[in-house]
Each structure stands twice: as structure tokens, then as C-alpha cells.
Structure 1
């Protein structure tokens, strides 16, 4: 493939490992970006981005316009979903989603009316005067997520701004077959750079570096031309050698800066932030035209794809519609993403999501996925190819034996699942599948442990509450008993005092009666004496 003769404007460093798989890019990057007819129905997955599932706010039978909010975010770590076209909501139900598991999840099914009519859009008239929170709110409300792979909500990634000094625009697109970022830059480089400028306004004195592989000469020329027209002298081009996986976040950072993101840290901890070219384009549309994220550029390719190229595809478009619209043969396998980091779809009826950058319609034997895995021969080729400087062979043994603690000791979660190890493995062992299995099991165990911990805390809190109620009840009884005893004692004292008074009164009465008796006796004696003297 043609390589650019352009010399990088910044120093380029090296990364460990890496491979040079056959690129297969020319089959899809030789034609202009196109559109396909709308599908008869769109199946919009409410879990079509990283984070929490969106919450539907429409009802079955409701008519919606293109760009209208149909699902709200569930907490800050989520994203809004908007109608990809105008039409009627015909179902809100579980459908098979684009995921390796092939499981069902809640989806909104939209039947297009063919008018493709936008709802009322509100653009930002003067972005320069908008404060940081207003720009982030607009990005959030328009449902913009990272379009480079993980579809992480962009407003969260942009929140941290203290100490950030460099914005890296990832245009490397190192994986074979995929060319959507390449074509986006070729045809819309100006909009991508304007989106990068909007992001840069969220920071102070920030440098902008576009990291791109040297196998994209036309995209490099388009960036140079757009930069010249827009007079954006603060944007530098970092042209890196074509090597997989140079487009990985940590790998591209190391290539452009010479810095390694430490274990357990984020690029922002080094003062760096990275966004994909598609994300920059989406942010530009969100702010300047008020358009929410309702479609994305997708590479359609593979030996069974009869019209390979890059197409604007509304979210929720079923893959079988893409096969029919490109008059393609029935593929042996459908791969969403590239051959290295993508995954096989369970069937062709799933709808594309915000993370879908490529659909490979493969023919028999095209991707080498039918080879039988043989025992590991301990050759060490996987270790040499690993761009994260891990020990893939050790991780494989521990994952296979369910020794997850040991796998974590060997930095399992530093694995970016690039597939370089599996690509060079002479035994054709699907190493990445073992790593994904170990990671998912560890995550599930952590969730279960957290649930158990919360259940234990609830149980202990309930027991403490019952004990507290018991203690409070006993205390009330004790106080009531003391109160009764005190009342009885008080009553006893009062009775004793009353009895003493009664006794004193009785003594006084008795004394009075005695005195009265004595006086009566004395009066009688006196009367008898007087009577005797009278007789004498």
C-alpha cells in the first residue's frame, strides 16, 4: 500500500512488539463515501454504548422525527439515544444485540416513513462565548460517544481538565480492512479539525497532535490542506510507521510522546487526552449544526461484499439489509469490527450500534478462523508480539486453569485484546478468547462479591437495627419499672406522712377527750361537795 513521504512534525518513538498483518484496505478506500436506502425497520439497541442502558421515553405507536430523543440516559455514565430517521415506533422489546454472547436485550424498533424529516435543531450560534459546562452539556445531550471503539460517553472523558496539556486525535486506524477514519479525513478533514478546535476550547494552552499512520497519504494531504485553509497553526501532525496496533490508545501515546501510561492510570494522569477523528466530526455537527449522533461512517468489506466501501449508516440498521443493499453474497461469517479485535455476529438481523466501525462479509477461509487449535509449543512468539510487554503464554495457562488471581498478578487487565499474540501463534490458539473469558469471570466475581458484601452489610444493619430496637424496648421497660417503683415509693411516703398526721390528730383528739373527762369529773366532785355543805 502507498506510504506517505510526509515527514512527521514531532518526534516519533517506538513501541514494543507489534505485527504487520496484510492490510486489505484498498478494497474499501478507493470509492467516495456513499449512502444506502433506508431499511424497512431499525433495531436500536438501548445498550449500544459503554455504561448504563438508556431508558426509553417513547411508546409503541408513537410517531417520531429524525434526531428526536427516544431514550434518556440512566445516570451520568450513559448516553441519550435519538431517532435515526423519522417514522413510527412499532415495538419496544428484547431483540438479539450486536455482542459476542448473542444474547437479547431491550431495543426500540422504528419503522421509517421514508421522509427522513429532522426535528427542530438548535445549533450553538457563538461557540467561542460558550462556557465549558455549556459545551459539555451540548455534547452530552446530543448523545456523542467515542467512535473509536469502546463508545465511552465523550462528556465524561472531557470533564477532567486540570493539568491536561495535549489533545491527541487518533487517526491511526491500524487494524486491517477498516478505512472509515481514512475516508472521513479524505472528504471531511475540515470538519474534523473544527471539532478538534471545539474540544481544545475546553482547555487552556493545549497542544493538538494528530496521530496517523504513514499508509494514509491522501488523508495526510487533506489534513494539511484543511489546516492551511482554517489557519490552525496549533495542530501538529505525528506520522507514525504502519504497525499494528499503533492505534491503541496507550500505544499511540507512547509513539507520539515517548511516555507510557502506568498500570491503573489514565492518559489524563499524564496530561493527555485522546479522541477519535469520528468523535471530533460528531462534536462539530453537535455544536455547529445541533445534530445529535444518529449515524456513523461504517466500512463494508470482505471477499463476499460486492460493493465494498464506506457508507453513512443510521444506527439500528440490520446487517442483513447492508448485505442486500450491496448485493453481496451470503457471508461465511459476519465480523463486526476488524479481523483482529472484532467479533462474529450471531446472525445478520442485529442492528449496528455506535461502536460499529466495520462489517466484514467474509468468504470461506478468508479470515483463517477455521484452523484447529493445537497444544502450545512454548515458542515465545506471542511474548515478542505483545505491544503491552505482557507474558501472553503465562496469561493463557492461568486463564485456562481458572487461576484468576495469578492471571491478575501477570497484569491481565493491561491486555488491550489486540490479537497480535493469537496472530503469530503457530498453534492457532485463540488466546484473546481466553483472556476475555478470564476478564469477564473476574468482573463477574467482583460484582458477585460486591453484591455479597452489600447483602452482608444489609444483614448486619438489620441485625443491629433489631438489637437496637430490643435494647430501646428493654430500656423503655426499665425506665417504666423505675417510674412505677418511684411512684410507689412516693405514694408510700405520702401514705406514711398522712398516717403520721392522722396519728397526731388522733392523739390531739384523745388528749382533748381526756381533758374534757377530767374537767367533767372535777365539776361533778365540786357539785357533790357543794351539795354536802348545803345539807349540813
Structure 2
């Protein structure tokens, strides 16, 4: 594993900063939303909570239609380890548990819990942790798990899973780079809640032994840097270092930020934990602090509302399940040409304004006509190589494009398709306006689907072979039973025959005995007749003499 050469320290950086390959400098469009203070919008009348609103398995509803719920009450429990609890974003009544259009590029429906708000926004009973130092590691992880905390940097992976491994972890990196254009929610969170963010990082650090904490932040956030430094001094957290990196997209990518701060590259097929590193977003740190110190489950997040059609851009606390059309109306915005969830580089267009926001929603761009350049016609590739120069993962985007376009997925994998982080830098610099990332996503999803189908086919084959083996076994057992039954019958017949022979012999012997007796009786009868005549003769003679 090679280590990059360090560059001169950026503004206020307290550790060496290294370089990453590729990257671009798109227009930031951050000023319009980063100036106003964080605010709240009026509550929506209806909340649509998508049960697949985080990475992993879908949550399972534990409420029924007609139930009354309080804010923070559990409404869906996890389904296996790769899942998360869902909590009511406000108080009200469950009016439906049905399929609704969800915030996903596919535009498909999925199971949602629909809550009609009562307008009171009443919390359920909260249980803050007052003795964090007395809690063991498992108890802290259990609290993070039960409060539904997931990664708020975009992936929304359940945080307790990422925190489980502690052997060999020596550095905690807090991702505060927020490099994508338009998005400023992390910047504003650090400006106004730096203390809570650092307390959350401190809670995470207590899950490990002798761990260093590094906050990776771009140098275009001077107010956030000052706020973090002041909060660190106030809390006396000397183990936290600032790594201020040059402004460059996508410096906020997990692997890219690790390389910038440590000079190490995460090997292909490996995780940061294999290098002794664990990374969490500043929003996740804030959520963990709220979960432990305030007892509040994750029911809302800071969302950047911006775009040319947004009349009051800024950052707002938005409860999960809030319909996007409510956000458009509450900011008194014009009807947008497009609604983009996430940033312009890695976000996606929403299929409907009726979808509810999820835990991964960090930004809603209310784009005006022509704002994001999505209407440009794609032209043939001219093989200029600009995409290769911009790729932060050192891939060959044009090769991936050709193989994905030709459905040559095996060759695409040979060119490390799954190392692509889908940052969109290649598409941004493409003079032919080819939507390269869409082709990569298509190839990835097709390969994943084929793998799933292959697994299903393999399992079906195993089931078929097991069935055939079972049928053959039953057939053999049946034949064996028939054979044994036939042998038993034959043996019984033989034994019966032997019994008949024995009986016949006995009968013959008895017959012989009887015959012999009869013969003897007959013979005895013949011998007794002359004596009788003699006696009679003698008797007659005596009578005559007399």
C-alpha cells in the first residue's frame, strides 16, 4: 500500500495533508443556503414514513391503522441486524399502512406508514443517559441501535454495526468535508451546534481504547472551522485534531478523505477498518449525542433546501416522512422544473413531489428550467480522456462506459467497475455530455441482479437435486421394503411348508399307528374265533354225554 506525498498544510490544518488523484472544482452554489440561520418549517398535515428508508432490511411495522402515536414512539422494529428502528416523527394517528411511491430513482412503490399529525408535536417519555461513564460498550451500542441512529452522510447504514468492530481501530475520522455543490447542512450544523457534534464524537471515541480523533473538513468552511476550534477548547478535548483539506470534489468521499488525511489507500475489496480506521459523518455524531445525552431517537435531520426555484433557501430541521411538496409550499417556492434529492453530482430526480424524506435526505434542490444542465443531448464519445483525468478512483471511465453500453459486464468488472464511487466527476467534465454514471449504475444493478438470480438458480438447483435424491431415496426404501416383505412372505411360506410337511409326517405316523392298531386288532380277532368254536364243541359234547 503506497502512501501519498504530503502537501503543505492547508488553512489551520493540524496534521499533514496528502493528495488524491483526479477530482474537479465545480461551481459551489453554497452561499445562498449557508447564510441564513437554521430554522424550522410548519409541520406537515401528513407524514409518509418509508419502512425501507435506510440501508439494509426493511423495518417491520408494530402499529396498526387507528393507533395514536407520540413523537419518538417506536412504530417499526428492525428486521434482522441490517435494519433500523423507525420512530414517529410527530404525534398523531396512524391512518394507513400501505404502499406509496418512495424516494428512489426507480419510482417504485414500497410499504409506508402514514401518520396524520395532530399539530401538538408531543414527545413520548424520553430516557436520557446520565451516567455514560458507567455504561459498558454493549449498553452504548444498544442505545444507538434502539434510537434508530444511522449514518447521515448519505449511505444511512445502521451506525451500531459500523461501531461493532473495535479490535485494531486506532483513528476515528469525522467527515465534515461536505464537498458536493449546493449542500450546506453539515457546514451549518458545525457553525451552530459544534459543541454537540464534538460531544457525539467523544461518545464514539469511548467505545475504543487509545483512539485519535481527526475532523476532516474542507478549507472553504472558515466559520465552521472556527466554531469547532472554540468548542474543542471549551470542552477541553485535546485529543481532537483538525485536518483541513483543499476544496476539491469529491474530497468528502470515504476513501478519498482517508487518503487525504492519512496518505493510505483502502485496498480493493477492503474496508477502512482493515486499516484501523472508522469514519462517521458530523450529522451522525450529533444524532448519537442526542440519543445518549438527550434520550431522543432519530426522528428528524437537517436538510438543505435550495435551487433557483426555492424562494427561501436555507437549512431546516425536517421530520422524516415530511412530503417534499410540503417543503416546496412551506418555502413559498415556485413550481420547480425538477426536484433533486441529494446534490447535483450524486443525487437523483424524485419521481413525485408526494414522497416523504428519509434518513439519507441531506438536500432537496428545487431546480429551475435548465439549471442543472440535465437537458443537454448526449453526443458520441470523442475519446478525449478527460474523464480518466477527473476520476478520483484512478479508473478508466471510458472503458467502463463502452463495456457497460455493450452489456459486457464481465469486462466491466475486470476494469474494477465496483470501485467506482459514482461521484459524477467523469460526467461533469465530459464534453459530449454523456451520462456516464447512469451507465455504471445500470451495469452494477444488472450484475447484482444476475448474482441474485444466480444464487436463486443455485438454490433452486440444490432444492431440485435434494428433491430428486429424496425421491430416489424413497424409491429405494420402498423397493427395500417390498424386497423384505417378499422375503418375509417367502420365509413364512417356507416355514408354513415345513409345518405342513411336519404335520403331514405326524399325520402319516398317526395313520400308521392307527393302521397298525387296526391290524393288531384284526389279527387278535382272528386268533380268538377257533377257541370259541372249540369251547362250543366241548360244551356240546358234554351235553350229549349227559
**Equivalent residue for 2:6?**
none
Q: Tell me the distance in 1 between the aligned counterparts of 2:314 and 2:486.
A: 89
Instruction: Report how far residue 526 of structure 1 moved.
Output: 5.7
**Equivalent residue for 2:30?**
25
**Equivalent residue for 1:8?**
13
**Equivalent residue for 2:468?**
463
TM-score computed with the length of structure 2 as normaliser? 0.93
Instruction: Report how far residue 524 of structure 1 moved.
Output: 4.3
**Equivalent residue for 2:82?**
77
Instruction: Report how far residue 38 of structure 1 moved.
Output: 0.7
Which entry has the higher C-alpha Rg, 1 or 2?
2
Q: Tell me the distance in 2 between the aligned counterparts of 1:527 and 1:97.
A: 131
Is residue 219–residue 245 contact of structure 2 (8 Å, CA) maintained in 1?
A: yes
Instruction: Report how far residue 522 of structure 1 moved.
Output: 4.0
Q: Tell me the distance in 2 between the aligned counterparts of 1:526 and 1:504.
A: 34
Task: Trace 1:35-434 onto structure 2 (pairs within 5 A).
Answer: 35-434=40-439
CA offset digits 1:437-480 (Å, max 9, x no partner): 11111112222222222222222222222222222222222221
CA 1:462/1:5 → structure 2, altered by over 3 Å: closer, same or farther? closer
CA offset digits 1:109-163 (Å, max 9, x no partner): 2221111100111222312222222222211111111100011111121222222
Q: Tell me the distance in 2 between the aligned counterparts of 1:433 and 1:212.
A: 29
Q: Tell me the distance in 2 between the aligned counterparts of 1:441 and 1:533.
A: 135
Q: Tell me the distance in 1 between the aligned counterparts of 2:531 and 2:205.
A: 134
Instruction: Report how far residue 5 of structure 1 moved.
Output: 6.4
Is residue 10–residue 17 contact of structure 2 (8 Å, CA) maintained in 1?
A: no
Aligned-residue CA RMSD (Å): 2.0
Is residue 324–residue 353 contact of structure 2 (8 Å, CA) maintained in 1?
A: yes
One of 422, 444, 449 as aligned partner of 2:449: 444
Q: Tell me the distance in 1 between the aligned counterparts of 2:101 and 2:529.
A: 129
Q: 2:364 aligns to what SS in structure 1?
A: strand
Gaps of 5+ in 1: none
Greater Cα offset, 38-47 or 124-133: 124-133
Is residue 10–residue 246 contact of structure 2 (8 Å, CA) maintained in 1?
A: no
CA offset digits 1:177-215 (Å, max 9, x no partner): 111111111111111111112222222222222111111
TM-score computed with the length of structure 1 as normaliser? 0.95
Instruction: Report how far residue 280 of structure 1 moved.
Output: 1.0
Q: Tell me the distance in 2 between the aligned counterparts of 1:399 and 1:478.
A: 61
Is residue 24–residue 390 contact of structure 2 (8 Å, CA) maintained in 1?
A: yes
Is residue 54–residue 360 contact of structure 2 (8 Å, CA) maintained in 1?
A: yes
Instruction: Report how far residue 238 of structure 1 moved.
Output: 1.5
Residues paired across the two proteins, number: 533
Instruction: Report how far residue 417 of structure 1 moved.
Output: 0.3
Instruction: Report how far residue 299 of structure 1 moved.
Output: 0.8
Q: Tell me the distance in 2 between the aligned counterparts of 1:133 and 1:509.
A: 99
Q: Tell me the distance in 2 between the aligned counterparts of 1:164 and 1:218.
A: 31
Q: Tell me the distance in 1 between the aligned counterparts of 2:526 and 2:129.
A: 125
One of 491, 494, 497 as aligned partner of 2:502: 497
Q: 2:242 aligns to what SS in structure 1?
A: strand
Instruction: Report how far residue 382 of structure 1 moved.
Output: 0.4
Instruction: Report how far residue 531 of structure 1 moved.
Output: 7.5
Q: Tell me the distance in 2 between the aligned counterparts of 1:447 and 1:148.
A: 27
Q: Tell me the distance in 1 between the aligned counterparts of 2:228 and 2:286.
A: 13
Greater Cα offset, 117-126 or 443-452: 443-452
**Equivalent residue for 1:435?**
440
Is residue 10–residue 244 contact of structure 2 (8 Å, CA) maintained in 1?
A: no
Q: Tell me the distance in 2 between the aligned counterparts of 1:161 and 1:531.
A: 134
Gaps of 5+ in 2: 1-8
